[in-house]
Amino acid sequence: MYNWWWLSILYALMYIIAIFVGQRWMRKQNEKFELRGALVLWNTILTIFSFWGACRSVPELIYTLNHHGFVYSICDPSFKQGITGLWAWLFMISKFPETIDTLFIVLRRQQLIFLHWYHHASVLVYCFYSYAYFVSTGRWFVSMNYCVHTLMYGYFALRAARIRLPRFFQQFITILQLIQMIIGCMINIAAYYYKQQGYSCAVSYTNIEISLAIIISIILFIVYIKLKYFTLYGSIPGKSPQFLLGNLLQTGFIYGKYLGDIVREFQIKYGDTFQFFAGPIHMIFVCNPEDVQHIFTHRHIYEQGNLEVDHHRILFNDALICNIGAKYKRHASIILPLFRRGKIVNNLDIIVDCTDKLLDQWRLKTDIDPNYIHLNIVDQCQNLSLAIFGFIGFDYDLQTLEEYSTNKKNKLRLALSDFLKIFLVTIPIPTFLSRIYLKISPRYRHAMSTISTYLNQIILQEQRKTPEEIDERKRTSLIASLIGSLQQDEKLEAIKPEQEKKGLSRREVIDELLLFLVAGSETTGSVLAWFIYFMSKNPRVQAKIKAELADKTQHGLTIDQIDSLIYLDYVIQEVLRFIPPVVGTTRTLTADDRLPTSSIQLYKGDEVFIPLNVLSRDKRYWKIDPDLFYPERFQSEDANHHAYGSIPFGGGHRQCIGQDLARFELKVIMTRLMQRVTFGDGGADVNAGGYVQKMTVIPKHIGITIKFD
């Protein structure tokens, strides 16, 4: 072994020459080689090999550390004996076949970067040289490399098989490679230190010197990561991101600063189109209504955002919001018809009855203390929204408006609250780490156990009905439609191409129900809380609503009466304009495109973020100060505002499917509340407003008095 390790240098030189010869030859070919099946097979073999090697090497390293200590682990070459010795030898030999992945890149005419072939060539020579001299630090290098390669080749195999993975996984593997090299250098430096201290370490000074060359490689990797993931792209302006954190620390987002305020500051400084880095996640913010209109009306170029889809899939893997293409159409054909206004207005009495329950609870407090300040309005609004959606969507009493749960959350609300907190925690975390976190989080498991119990009870209640009853109610009931669409043979449907699948699997139904539960409580509840806050701060507006109600709803409450409340429509529009339920939405480009107004060139794969709250507060598109809460703007100067100046539920073919239900539900609830009570300002200390950014944007401080009329 000592006599022929230098042959690896010859192989490395031949490898590099072959790369350039191969690339030149491929440029002369008319077509590239696909080789997808071979690539899947090859990477799968290397994944299995690396995993097996990790299973054989890592336990020995852990045992050595536990029983002999750190110094022994880097100075004694005993790992070369027995089974670990075999896998150390196989590790060295594997550096030859690992270079074959370069062959795939060349033959498939893909981009080949310098660091790729430099890494293969230098590591191959270093491994053969180190093995020849039985370097004791090898146990660390072998164990780490097997672990990293298990993930890396597994990722390559999945990508080759066209299995979609979060973008950050690629970045994570690159970072793991970097960490591996840094630890390797630290191990060699430690070995050098112990040799200087007189320890007998089976590693030569020459080997340690070579490790200094690897430090240069590390620097190259750092530069590569910085240039690829933390550097402004092209000519689009933006703030230069920090390593790993992007713009999150610079802007104060990490400390809770409202994203809407951050985006407005960026817009003032950089214009309507700019770059923003949420850690390593790169986005292009578009704040011009004309460009936004272009994005939403060109659905063949701008598909549902990968970032949004990847993150939501962690929690709602098969729900409508996470689907694209044929799978989206399959789900949409079942769900979308039930959210049209004609199917919704029949639920007027349900909404009124639930609202009256909340009013009864408020009256109990007011009767005891007329000046009582209500501080839990957000929770109560979400309880109300959830109760209403339970009846409308599931024909099920979720009991969130019972007396015992009015001032505290029942089990379901507690579980949903925990679920949403976990959802927020996972937003800045890479997808694969989020999945690991969910696996080990007892809080998440407990929340999902509670939610699953409710969902299964909802499904069971519906399944107790006869097939005839379910079929009869499918056109008007969401839960009946979902249960009626359950696949009869899930295994058979699973093997069909997506375009040929019919109905939904039980897993898909549960994910849809979970999404509806969350959206049913969060979105409408947050808007209703903002309405109450704005009414407490604007008695003039509240008085005008009551005057309109007195004129048009003197006898009961009907659909026609509700439709006649024009000023209340303006109030709802203004609440949604002032604080859209969500801060924005994303789109991913499926082809290169140029924005028509800003003339910004975008490229396939770019992630575009449309900040809804910034569009609705841009003074260039509103004649009356957009920072002023003024519902009358919609019947005067701003009646003909830009169509995309206020799009609280998004736009295009992927806008919120529940917006008709939300608008109707909000209008009925607001009408009922304004018929019965007047909201007062609880004081600057408790009713200061501000923003809390959760799944939706809710008031940070809201404390109001309630006077029954």
Interior CA angle at 355 toward 354 and 359, to 5°? 120
* 283 in Cβ contact with 274 (< 8 Å): no
- Contacts of residue 647, Cβ cutoff 8 Å, sequence gap at least 6: 292, 580, 612, 615, 616, 655
Q: Which residues are catalytic?
A: 119
The C-alpha atoms of residue 139 and residue 188 are separated, in whole angstroms, by: 12
User: 341: which residues sit within 8 A by CB, 6+ positions away?
Assistant: 660, 664
Residue 656 labelled as part of a binding site? yes
596, 602, 605, 610: CA torsion to nearest 10: -60
DSSP SS3 for 691 = strand
Radius of gyration of the chain (CA): 31
Is residue 576 within 8 Å of residue 648, measured between CB atoms?
yes
Query: Are 56 and 140 within 8 A, CB to CB?
Result: no
Q: Which residues pair with 328 in a beta bridge?
A: none
Q: How many residues does the chain have?
A: 709
Burial 246-283 (b: 16+ CB within 10 A, else e): bbbeebebeeeebbbebbbebbeebebbbbbbbbbbbb
Q: Which helix (H) or strand (E) holds 241?
A: none
Q: What is the DSSP string of 528-572?
A: HHHHHHHHHH-HHHHHHHHHHHHHH-SSS--HHHHHT-HHHHHHH
* Runs of H (alpha helix) within 478-634: 478-484, 490-494, 506-537, 539-552, 559-563, 566-578, 612-615
Collapse the DSSP code of 688 into the 3-class scheme (helix H, G, I; strand E, B; otherwise coil) and give the result.
Answer: coil
Give me the residues paired with residue 608 across strands.
Answer: 284, 587
Strand partners, 486: 504
Beta bridge partners of 606: none
* Residue 163: how many other CB atoms lie within 10 Å: 10
- DSSP 8-state assignment for residue 74: H
686 DSSP assignment: T
Return the closest-CA partner of residue 571 out of 642, 484, 633, 653. 633
Binding residues for heme: 656
Binding residues: 656
